[in-house]
Chains A and B, each alone.
Chain A
Amino acid sequence: QKEVEQDPGPLSVPEGAIVSLNCTYSNSAFQYFMWYRQYSRKGPELLMYTYSSGNKEDGRFTAQVDKSSKYISLFIRDSQPSDSATYLCAMRQGGKLIFGQGTELSVKP
């Protein structure tokens, strides 16, 4: 079993839709939870960073962590074609990041 599981998609939605991206994890020692966005043939860029259970909002993005269920989510409201990318969840243990497989999102105009 992988430490971090993420549905690879691809996920295709119409512009304006609410997108839900999810990851589960098995290691309760993970302390910090991140979401990265990666455009094709580019490095990942950090979108959201949380360390406690609950919700964190930043503009159209909301990150949700449920440590009891070992489950994290990223919600994107009013999705735009420019949101089309691969979204990776990542978890930090010590100094290392463990990434999920990434979910490929396509937002159609």
Chain B
Amino acid sequence: GAVVSQHPSWVICKSGTSVKIECRSLDFQATTMFWYRQFPKQSLMLMATSNEGSKATYEQGVEKDKFLINHASLTLSTLTVTSAHPEDSSFYICSARSLAGGNEQFFGPGTRLTVL
């Protein structure tokens, strides 16, 4: 149980375009989903926390107009990187916390974004 999927697993796009990444909790309902960014050989940095039906809370230094987060249902959150630039190239990972309670976050497999 407690499986989180991400789609796509890998995406290449041109500079200036927008990219949407989906995060789904497959076998549980998630009240809260988290979006992280990880650069090569670096740690996971929390970008934002989203709760179903409300606006996401962004960490300091993360542009909310550039990284649009929508948590439309208890099983789906999306991250849209708008007007992507090469410096946005990174590994984006989501995690989800269950509606059933507990503190554990279940992580997705990640999405590798390359902006040319």
Which residues of A does B touch, CB under 8 Å?
6, 8, 32, 36, 41-46, 49, 88, 92, 95-102, 104
Check B43 against A45 for contact (C-beta < 8 Å).
Answer: no
Tell me the chain B residues, 73-101 only, with Cβ under 8 Å from chain A: 91, 93, 95, 97
Q: Which of A42, A46, A98 contacts B109 (CB 8 A)?
A: A42
Interface of A is mostly: strand
Q: Which of A8, A32, A97, A101 has the most CB atoms of chain B within a 10 A radius of its CB? A: A97
Q: Which of A36, A46, A97, A104 contacts B46 (CB 8 A)?
A: A97
Please count how many residues in chain B sit with their CB below 8 Å of the partner chain's CB atoms.
Answer: 23
A24 to chain B, nearest CB (A): 14
B70 adjacent to chain A (CB < 8 Å): no
Check A88 against B104 for contact (C-beta < 8 Å).
Answer: no
Which residues of B are found within 8 Å of A95, using beta-carbon distances? 32, 49, 97
Q: Which of B95, B104, B107, B108 has the most CB atoms of chain A within a 10 A radius of its CB? A: B107
B95 to chain A, nearest CB (A): 8
19 contacts between A and B (CB under 8 A): A41-B110, A42-B109, A42-B110, A43-B93, A43-B95, A43-B107, A43-B108, A43-B109, A43-B110, A44-B93, A46-B104, A88-B44, A95-B49, A96-B34, A96-B46, A96-B49, A101-B42, A102-B42, A102-B43
Which residues of B are found within 8 Å of A92, using beta-carbon distances? 103
List of 10 A-B pairs having minimum Cβ-Cβ separation, nearest first: A43-B107, A99-B43, A101-B43, A99-B44, A43-B109, A43-B110, A44-B107, A43-B108, A43-B93, A42-B109
Q: Which of A41, A45, A49 has the most CB atoms of chain B within a 10 A radius of its CB? A: A41
Closest chain B residue to A32, Cβ basis: B103
Closest chain A residue to B9, Cβ basis: A41
Check B43 against A100 for contact (C-beta < 8 Å).
Answer: yes
Check A49 against B104 for contact (C-beta < 8 Å).
Answer: yes
